Structure 1
Amino acid sequence: MMTGLFQPGPVLAAMLRHKTGPLLVALQVALSLAILCNAMLMISERLSMAARPSGIANEQDVFYVHVSNQKVDGHEAQLAMQKQEEQTMLAVPGVEGVARTNSVPMSQSGWYNSLSQSGEPESATVTAAAFMSPGSLISVWKLKLTEGRDFLPEDVMEADSKAMTSLPGVGVVTRALAKRLYPNDSSYVGKYFYNGRGSGADRIRIVGVVDHIQSPNANAGPDDSLGFILPIRATQDTYSGYTVRARAGQADRVMRDVTAALRKASVSPLKIDMRSVSEIRADRYRNDYGMSWMLIAVCGLLFLVTATGIIGMCSLWVSQRTRQIGIRRALGARRVDILAYFLTENLMITTGGIVLGVLLAMGLNQLLIREFEMAALPAHYLLLTPLVFWLLGLVSAAAPSWRAACVAPATATRTV
């Protein structure tokens, strides 16, 4: 007679007589847990990468403008055109700053240069994103200057990009790049780095250090913060545009007004492409967001399938044991005893599946680490996920177990 609330012995004996059902449910729990653990880690990694700071403060207030005027040719004419366009945009109400630049973080289009500390032919190099601007990206993007200064007007080089043979003698670097070039130092202003190696390398003096600029490709890993800024106004460069900062909350209106002002000030038709930094971020991480939502949907389906399996198993066993339940109730078993029996049975099956699932999750994680350089599963994932499946098992088994506990003894004993 079943009178205790927790009697694992009789429950285990009953399960051993009918192994197939419990084994299938346990395997289902194990596979779901293993997949869920690693899927959650992948979701976390992708969302964390998509949320990384670009270095640009208040991204929603900054946008990029690419202006193409095919009728303007010649170095001097293009210099004049660039300066006129900058003044035109600065005159638009709500514009706080404008700077010409060859690239923007996360834009998936930019320049990368090989840099070295000494410039010697055999010296080690590091690849870093090159941002070129005659204006103040530090001011327009509101970069955090941790050491040194911004560029001065006399630092700016004006050159034809097709005939340029050297780079400016000064530059601003990110802290990550400074540490990579000078790993044993803590102060970097006044030090030098070289663009390239050998006799043709350009020697550049560090005048400022900014905390962080995300690269145009926005790749994962610490190399994403390796970048530097050079004070160059280049002509014959069809890829450069302008980065503009609007007053807080006015970006949409300012983008429209800037377009109208540029067209009005130009004597020839213009082709204008414009994107906010928020749009640039969304485009860069579109696949990551899509993959995250797909994995979330997979996790939801796994939960649903696992819960359905537990409910189906428990409901089947209740139907098969209706007569036994009635006999036990007639012999004095309380409703709570019947409820505890089925919940204990479910808890034991779920626990077996969880133990196997944790082992499978760690094995799958090692495979993903080896093949796809995925991070190792944090310990709290292997602690919290089993709790979720225990709760899922109890909730899923609750309704069938309560239905079993509510079977009347007289009705049950008449059931064949």
Structure 2
Amino acid sequence: MEIRPILSSMLRNKTAPLLIAAQVALTLAIVCNALYIIKDRLATAARPSGADEANVSEIRFYPHRQIQDVRGMQLRDMEAIRAVPGVVSAAWSNQIPLGRSGWNVGPVVISTEQQNSNVQSAAQYFSPDSLIDTFGLTLVEGRDFAPGDFMEIDPEKDRVQGRMAIITRAMAQALWPDEASVLGKSMYLGGPNNEPTEVIGVVERMQTPWASVGDGAEYSLILPVRYLDPFTRYAVRTEPGRHEQIMADVEKTLLAQSNDRVLLGRRTIAEARDLRYAGERLMAGLLIAVTVFLLLITASGIVGMASLWVNQRRKQIGVRRAIGARKGDILRYFLVENLMITTAGIAAGIALAVGLNNLLVAELDLPRLPVAYLGLTMAGMWVLGLLAVLGPAWRAAAVPPAIATRTA
């Protein structure tokens, strides 16, 4: 088939082809970036926290009057929790992964001369118990804290500062990127003017309470500190399959321990995940809806324009059929014509997609658009264009010559 007659026909009637090409270009630019943002948001929401999310809960209490013996209260509570059947491990903790609030420290530097750091902020977990056992973390290097490692901090007199720490693999790689092992290394929490803290262990991962986008989501450390705060948060890990029942027993046990505090609530880390990533899932859902809507609008536009072209060229189609053109020739004519228009729109759409992605990278700190997404969207637009024009083209090819050339 000659391309020149098709091109000549389109140049004589520019408006409709230009509108379709513009629609294809705009749809490609938006859909391509939307698909990548959807994938990025869903991947962010699916990041593992490092904890046994389904079997670990936090339970929080707040005193409604002064607690005279905070340390004794914590010890009695822990003894009572561990006595509940089905409890695997428990710990007093100042925060939990994905909890959305908690303590942080920064910058974290590795020498007294260093002012800036790759770790400007790190989540600071502390507990007088094993958070590795209670959260279900994976220790990949070094050891957990021993009984003699823990120190006691009174918030009215002291500030949190551990002599040793367990850090995440991500934090270790950020601070010492060229080191195979970081055991025994010293770091300075909050800047070079503070006392050094020795790294004695590395866990595979543990997300921060805020779980920010990027590598900083796993910049976390654990300090062996008993913090004498009357506000209490206990992390409890239970046997799988009976978590809700066991936590209900833990709640009853703690409420029976004392009447000078109120229960603020309890939740699993999995429930904390749902709250933390609700925004990412909502954004992904909205973008999916926008993408589907745009594709439907584009397909409808192509169908409408193709139907209009068929009606305007019925006599031309009839003449071609009368002089020997087959149905396949007519069908192929419209498909090639649509392919040329769609290709022109795709070429413009690629430029728009790259420009839009550059804007998103600059304004929203999103990652660069991979070339694979451009190729996938291009193929999708070609298929969409051909499928949308197939119906009108088939109807045009089926018009009998006698009817198509009738003038009245």
Q: TM-score range by the shorter chain?
A: over 0.9
Match of 1:228 in 2: 221
For 2:269 and 2:263, locate their aligned partners in 1 and report how far apart those are by CA, in whole Å.
Answer: 20
Task: Provide, for residues 175-210 of structure 1, a one-character-per-residue CA deviation record: whole Å limited to 9, x for no partner.
Answer: 2323333344221222222233466x2332221111
Instruction: Say whether residues 1:132 and 2:130 are aligned partners.
Output: no
Match of 1:112 in 2: 104
Match of 1:251 in 2: 243
For 1:337 and 1:15, locate their aligned partners in 2 and report how far apart those are by CA, in whole Å.
Answer: 18
CA contact (8 A) 1:106 1:215 kept: yes
Letter in 1 for 2:208: S
CA contact (8 A) 1:7 1:341 kept: no
Match of 1:376 in 2: 368
Match of 1:179 in 2: 173
The DSSP-based 3-state class of the residue aligned with 2:254 is: helix
CA contact (8 A) 1:56 1:141 kept: yes
CA contact (8 A) 2:63 2:230 kept: no
Aligned-pair RMSD on alpha carbons? 1.9
Match of 1:67 in 2: 61
Question: Which residue, 92, 111, 114 being the options, matches 1:100?
Answer: 92
Instruction: Say whether residues 1:348 and 2:331 are aligned partners.
Output: no
CA contact (8 A) 2:111 2:192 kept: no
Taking structure 1 as the reference length, what is the TM-score of the superposition? 0.92
Letter in 1 for 2:401: P
Question: Which residue, 381, 403, 407 being the options, matches 2:399?
Answer: 407
Identical counterparts, % of pairs:
44
Instruction: Say whether residues 1:153 and 2:147 are aligned partners.
Output: yes
CA contact (8 A) 1:168 1:230 kept: yes
For 2:5 and 2:166, locate their aligned partners in 1 and report how far apart those are by CA, in whole Å.
Answer: 74
Instruction: Say whether residues 1:214 and 2:207 are aligned partners.
Output: yes
Question: Which residue, 17, 20, 39 being the options, matches 2:34?
Answer: 39
Match of 1:188 in 2: 182
Instruction: Say whether residues 1:30 and 2:17 are aligned partners.
Output: no
Deviation at 1:352, TM superposition (A): 0.8
Instruction: Say whether residues 1:339 and 2:334 are aligned partners.
Output: no
Taking structure 2 as the reference length, what is the TM-score of the superposition? 0.94
Letter in 1 for 2:181: S
The DSSP-based 3-state class of the residue aligned with 1:130 is: strand
For 2:160 and 2:6, locate their aligned partners in 1 and report how far apart those are by CA, in whole Å.
Answer: 82
Letter in 1 for 2:288: I
- 1:12-23 pair list within 5 angstroms: 12-23=7-18
Deviation at 1:111, TM superposition (A): 1.0
Deviation at 1:8, TM superposition (A): 2.0
- Runs of 4+ residues over 6 Å off in structure 1: none
Deviation at 1:61, TM superposition (A): 1.7
Going from structure 1 to structure 2, the CA distance change for 1:197 and 1:269 (only over 3 Å counts) comes to closer
Deviation at 1:264, TM superposition (A): 3.0
For 2:331 and 2:140, locate their aligned partners in 1 and report how far apart those are by CA, in whole Å.
Answer: 65
> Mind listing any 5+ residue stretches in structure 2 that lack a counterpart?
none
